[in-house]
Structure 1
Amino acid sequence: MLANALMIHPNLLLQNRYRVLRVLGKGGFAETFEVDDCGSLKVLKALSLNHFYRRDAKEKAVSLFQREAAVLSRLQHPGIPKVEPDGYFTVPEGSEEPLHCLVMEKIDGVNLKQWRLKWGNRTLSEEQAITWLRQLAQILEQLHQQELIHRDIKPSNIMLRSNGQLALIDFGAVREVTDTYLQRQKENVTGTVIISSGYTPPEQAEGHAVAQSDFFALGRTFVFLLTGKSPIDFDRHSRTGKLLWRESAPHISPELADLMDYLMAAFPGQRPQTPQMILRCIEE
């Protein structure tokens, strides 16, 4: 009986449809595999519950996984991996501790962390940075219109397709901004805390992520791409707390650097409030 993701192995057939080909990676509480779906390559993400000993922690992990599946199956955008309505399933069905699986589109290309390593010391040009920023703002526009926040934007979660288009991946931390969620924020009830060192904004680290939290992480991502350094490698201004990164990106204009600092402002209210505002700043 399949009890956890570790028992998935090459050549295993799931749902009489998905043939497992190879392991792609392990991260967080899930493993990913390449699968063959009737001649089409896809990605299978399997939730591993081995890490959890408490029932409530397991239930929370399953809830986040199911939320990711529901979000991806309803979002239709070239910058977001496609999931078919039957892409989420459990095996064996009806067992007390089934294996939770999610099959999604396999995005052909490299993530931006890999892209950076591949090019060595080559930094992102201003023109390319503006193109990519516009693409990512349009993806976030699609997400935020659905009252969703990603909560884990960073170079390794952005894929560069072979056609030059970017796609945002790993929706395991996605959060729906419901009235209940906003009320809990007001009552100071912290939510699930998702932290990626150097990219997570202060309010999210305290469990109070908002839509503008995605913009902070977006700005930090571009600091990495424009300088080749992790945001945690830079000092911060002793009075304002601003990241002192500009000297490491002398090839970009003050206007683009200002936009990056605007995205990374310390408080959500000081950042652009919507993806449309970012797009307007780019046009200006």
Structure 2
Amino acid sequence: MLTGKVLRNRYRILQFLGGGAFGETYLAEDLDLPNHPKFVVKQLKPKISQAEVLQVARRLFENEARYLYQLGNLSPQIPKLLAHFEENGEFYLVQEFVDGDDLSAEIIPGKKWSEQAVILLLQEILEVLVIVHQQNIIHRDIKPKNLMRRKEDGKIVLIDFGAVKEVKGLGVDTQGQVTSTIVIGSNGYMPNEQANSKPKLASDIYAVGIIGIQALLGKLPQEFQEDPKTGEIIWQTEVNVSKKLANILNKMVNYHFSQRYQSADEALQALKSVSSKPLSFLPFTVQKLGSTKKILIYSCLGVIVFISLGSILINSANRPKAVPSNNTLNNVDINISTQTLPDVKLVCPETTLPSLDNKKYWVVGRTRYYDLPENKFTGKGILTLPNNQYKGWDRYDGEIKNNKFNGCGTYTFANGNSYVGQFENGFYQGKGKLVCKNGQEFIGNFRKGFFDGEGIFISNKGLRKGGVWEDGKLKGGENITVSCDAIY
């Protein structure tokens, strides 16, 4: 154990994180930098200390360090290599510390994932793996333990590139030749050609497919059934999924590598054809249009929210160009209206949201569940989902029934917009209050996500417009534009 030691007069070992037959991993702090930031130190040990073995181990170690350095600079979802060195005949890697939990905390035996959650998960994994395969590098040990869910943004980080394990597996045969005595990979996730020491890029694809089937079935790979004649995995009899997804997974885990997708990019493109993304909340804009639209902007394990407030901006590239006019309500100085405004009273109370610091949660896909018993999707709790555009988390506090927002709740967007009020089957439905980060508000009735019924709009300059709204438009009112985000 290295705990307490200082390596290279710089890296003080704080804590043992884990280890096995190939080496040990530690949490360390850098004494040379302000605030002593934390890093991961991996100690790699050849079994035999003979000069020939050390020479080959050194070459493998240098190659692996080069790969890690190359990949860490290409993607923020691969830990950066910060240092590699040899000290007292032992080899060390210093890498970026990833604060999070690996996917074995999410993919739990007995818990079956929905089809859409699995599609999203596979896409997340493959998006990282594309970077690796583009450099013609095979990971060789993809499994839930080597996929970290980073707490900061909820993204998957690929860790522990398998080739470093070869250093520990070196030995000398009876003729004095240095040999590798192990097969790199993990049982259940390793295809036949990799077990025979002939891995391909398609070997990584096999492992990703196995993870998908594992999540769908709620079983460990060792529990999967196989066809004794062909070696193919038998899994479709245990779960109901679309034919498209089944075909993709079967191709990913085909017994023979030549029949699989040949790279991560190829598999990713196939999955995108069956995905219903986007699956994240984004800021919304309300406009009076000739015809209103309903756009699905969040779906995870049956939780569905439509915020069809006339129109929703999915991304800046698709943002409609608004034409300023004298009756625009956004960011303008107009005297407060003298019209009689409806008396709208909220049904759901506005409350201070509790802090999530040090609060326990469980995870399905990219959604975190707080204050709900694990695998229970009915009750009162908190859900969070990463919003990558704003580098934060969207959050729902309130009542849930059958994994949909039902009852009173508060939905807070990562960019500061929020809604408090009634929900029904995932929609804003009933009385509620929509608050924009720029200070504008709509208080009134909603139906399936639209302003519908009596309500009041209050601009951030004090203008109030009230009356009866229908499908997001003010009946009998002017041709107005309402926007949470100033885009004019």
Q: TM-score, normalised by structure 2?
A: 0.48
Give unmatched runs, 5+ long, in structure 2.
166-179, 274-488
Contact map agreement 1:25 1:32 (CA 8 A) in 2? yes
Q: Which residue of 2 aligns with 1:107?
A: 98
Rounded Cα–Cα distance in structure 2 between residues aligned with 1:262 and 1:156? 23
Match of 1:42 in 2: 39
Q: Is the 8 A contact 1:67 1:174 kept in 2?
A: no
Take 1:147 and 1:166, find their aligned partners in 2: how far apart are those partners?
21
Q: Deviations over 1:79-129 (max 9, x none)?
A: 211112xx101224xxxxx22110001111111123334xx6332332222
What is the CA distance between 1:229 and its match in structure 2? 1.2
The structure with the largest helix share of the pair is: 1
How far apart are the structure 1 equivalents of 2:181 and 2:22?
Answer: 18
Match of 1:160 in 2: 149
Query: How far apart in 1 are the matches of 2:63 and 2:20?
Result: 18
Task: Give the secondary structure class of the aligned counterpart of 2:201.
Answer: coil
What is aligned with 1:9?
3
Answering whether residue 233 of structure 2 is matched by residue 243 of structure 1, we say yes
* Stretch of structure 1 that moved more, 75-84 or 53-62: 53-62
The corresponding residue for 1:90 is 86
Deviation at 1:58, TM superposition (A): 4.8
Aligned length: 252
Q: Distance in 2 between matches of 1:65 and 1:15?
A: 18
Change in Cα spacing, 1:64 to 1:253, as seen in structure 2 (3 Å) is farther
What's the CA shift for 1:24? 0.4
Letter in 2 for 1:9: T
Question: Is the Cα contact below 8 Å between 1:68 and 1:172 reproduced in 2?
Answer: no
1:73 aligns with 2:69: yes
Local SS of the residue matching 1:22: strand
Q: Partner letter of residue 3 of structure 2? A: H
- 1:139-218 matches, within 5 Å, as 139-162=128-151, 163-173=153-163, 193-218=183-208
Q: How far apart, CA to CA, are the structure 1 residues paired with 2:50 and 2:183?
A: 18
CA RMSD of aligned residues (A): 2.4
**Alpha-carbon spacing, 1:57–1:259, altered in 2? closer, same or farther (3 Å):** farther
Structure 1 residue 253 corresponds to structure 2 residue 247: no
What SS does the corresponding residue of 2:128 show, helix, strand or coil? helix
Give the partner amino acid of 1:125. Answer: S
Q: Tell me the distance in 1 between the aligned counterparts of 2:236 and 2:60.
A: 37
Q: In the aligned structure 1, how far is the partner of 2:111 from the partner of 2:220? A: 15
TM (norm. structure 1) is 0.80
In the TM superposition, residue 174 of structure 1 has moved relative to its aligned partner by 6.8
Structure 2 counterpart of 1:89, one-letter code: F
Report what 2:19 is aligned to.
Answer: 26
- Aligned partners of 1:35, 1:174: CA distance in 2, in Å? 20
- Alignment partner of 2:19: what SS? strand
Aligned to 2:169: none
Task: Give the corresponding residue for 1:283.
Answer: 272
**Displacement after TM superposition at 1:34 (Å):** 0.2
Shift of 1:15: 2.2
Using the aligned pairs only, state the percent identity: 35
The alignment partner of 1:193 has SS state of: coil
Mapped to 2, the partners of 1:199 and 1:156 lie a distance apart of 11
- The 8 Å contact of residues 22 and 33 in structure 1, kept in 2 or not, is answered as yes
1:187-206 superposed Cα distances (whole Å, 9 cap, x missing partner): xxx99732411111111111
SS at match of 2:41: strand
Instruction: Give 1:270 deviation, angstroms.
Output: 0.5
Report the Cα distance in structure 2 between the residues aligned to 1:191 and 1:269, rounded to whole angstroms.
27
Q: Is the 8 A contact 1:64 1:172 kept in 2?
A: no
Give SS of 2:18's match.
Answer: strand
Given that residues 162 and 185 in structure 2 are in contact (C-alpha distance below 8 angstroms), is that contact kept between their aligned partners in structure 1? no
The answer to whether the 8 A contact 1:24-1:33 is kept is yes
The CA distance in 2 between the partners of 1:229 and 1:158, in whole Å, is 18
Q: Counterparts of 2:90 and 2:50 in 1: how far apart (Å)?
A: 17
Distance in structure 2 (CA, Å) of the matches to 1:58 and 1:28: 18
CA distance in 1, matches of 2:213, 2:48: 35
